[in-house]
Structure 1
Amino acid sequence: MEKSKPKEVEAYIVNANPEARPIMEELRKIITSTVPEAEEGISWNVPIYKYHGILAGFSVARHHVSFGVDALQSEDRKILAGKGYKTGKKTIQIKFGQKVPNAVILKILKRQAKINEIQ
């Protein structure tokens, strides 16, 4: 039997791997407190936050939570790599048991919000 697709962020988090839930709750809190005007919803079957366009999103994988944002820059990647995080072009992987890099994510979210306001 196939799992039903979540229609809201709370359901996505509750139905996820228990090890992923604290990370996703913390990401949700960072996003909503940094950009309170952001609209929370599910797009592409994962939590997405919109503020004058797509602000950020996250999804759960087998051993990590992936946080995605367009404004991730090379200096952010260097800082995160130095702290043990794996990054992609627009993603940060937060392994289960790893702390959420709050300060870096906060800075990136503010940057993305400003970019979205201009466009």
Structure 2
Amino acid sequence: MAKPEVDAFIEAFPEHTREMLQNVRKAIHNAAPDAEEYIGYMMPAYKFHGALVYFSGYKNHIGFYPGAAGVAYFKDEIAKYKTAKGSIQFPLDEPVPVDLIGRIVAFRVRENLEKAAAKSKKTK
């Protein structure tokens, strides 16, 4: 379900950036339809058995934040992008790699489910 505060966040950007942000949002929803959407750290965020991913728009790029494990696992596929420990920058002058984003989100979903299962075993 779309959240009005995330809609408002995206609407504040110029048209081209807005379209790219909507593509990122759709890729996340497709890969994690049960994730809860909210604003966290002043940007769109998703949680599913814990924090999942965040994203935002900037002057020259879309920032995508799958955490350190998400960046490390896909390091070869994201080599062409500027990265940091837990973030990836997708330039505004290139199409958003929605397939890649979807695979990263699916990886994070699996990772969170594995962590939740391990935690559940410990408490039994």
Measured against the shorter chain, the TM-score band is 0.7 to 0.9
1:100 to 96, 99, 115: 96
Secondary structure of the structure 2 residue equivalent to 1:66: strand
Larger Rg: 2
SS at match of 1:27: helix
Q: Provide the identity percentage.
A: 32
* Mapping for residues 30-69 of structure 1, pairs under 5 Å: 30-69=27-66
Q: Write the deviation string for residues 5-39 of structure 1: whole angstroms up to 9, x where unpaired.
A: xx711000001233311111001001111111000
Assess if the C-alpha contact under 8 Å between 2:61 and 2:91 holds in 1.
Answer: yes
Q: Distance in 1 between matches of 2:74 and 2:41?
A: 26
Confirm or deny: 8 A CA contact 1:56 1:69 kept in the other structure: yes
Instruction: Tell me the equivalent position of 1:4.
Output: none
How many residue pairs were aligned? 111
Taking structure 2 as the reference length, the TM-score comes to: 0.80
**Deviations, residues 44-78 of structure 1 (Å, cap 9, x unaligned):** 11100111111111011221110110232445222
More helix by share: 2
Q: Which runs of 5+ in 2 are unaligned?
A: 116-124
Find 1:79's aligned residue among 53, 77, 80: 77
Letter of the 2:78 counterpart: L
Unaligned runs of 5+ in 1: 1-6
How far apart, in 2, do the equivalents of 1:20 and 1:107 lie? Answer: 22
TM-score by length of 1: 0.83
Correspondence for 1:25: 22
Which consecutive segments of 4 or more residues in structure 1 shift more than 3 A? none
